């Protein structure tokens, strides 16, 4: 029988590794560098900035904050990057995040979920850390998809494989 811990960790894996990251890749596949780094106004992040931000956030909250890896995040730099960084760079950091999460998520125990972690300026339980990363990833993935659809006026086909 599955435990609540394994059910939650499985949802993190599913929502991030099987939904958000593949959807971000679909968007990157359809866009050229100028569109990936386009900012409608200076105060808005580009799609490229959001990819950097999502990778930094997941690393800081799960890998460093919860599992004790070194926190090397520079959050301000994620938004300050003017681009264009090559699209291959964005794919590489998504691939590395995916690889690191595939290896790290099975290490999460019920003890991790019950502990309190100080991340940025927040004190969060392990459950809260995982829920935050799922929500944060989904939120910005939706922004990336919407921006892509708006620029290209296309359906991204996220659900084409389903009969809904």
Domains (ranges, CATH) in the chain?
4-152 (1.20.120.450)
For residue 155, how far is the Cα from the chain centroid? 21
pLDDT tens, per residue, the chain with 164 residues: 469 999 999 999 999 999 999 999 999 999 999 999 999 999 999 999 999 999 999 999 999 999 999 999 999 999 999 999 999 999 999 999 999 999 999 999 999 999 999 999 999 999 999 999 999 999 999 999 999 999 999 999 999 988 98
With 0.85 as the threshold, say if the pTM is over it: yes
Residue 65: burial class (beta carbons within 10 Å; 0-12, 13-18, 19+): buried
């Amino acid at each position: 029988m599955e435990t609540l811990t394994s059910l939650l960790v499985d949802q993190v894996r599913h929502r991030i590794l099987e939904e958000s990251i593949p959807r971000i890749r679909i968007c990157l596949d359809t866009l050229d560098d100028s569109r990936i780094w386009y900012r409608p106004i200076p105060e808005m992040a580009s799609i490229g900035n959001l990819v950097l931000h999502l990778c930094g956030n997941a690393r800081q909250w799960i890998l460093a904050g919860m599992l004790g890896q070194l926190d090397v995040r520079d959050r301000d730099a994620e938004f300050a990057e003017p681009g264009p960084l090559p699209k291959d760079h964005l794919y590489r950091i998504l691939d590395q995040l995916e690889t690191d999460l595939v290896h790290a998520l099975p290490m999460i125990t019920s003890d991790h979920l019950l502990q309190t972690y100080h991340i940025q300026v927040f004190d969060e339980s392990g459950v809260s850390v995982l829920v935050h990363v799922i929500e944060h990833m989904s939120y910005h993935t939706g922004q990336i998809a919407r921006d892509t659809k708006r620029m290209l006026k296309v359906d991204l086909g996220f659900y084409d494989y389903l009969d809904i």
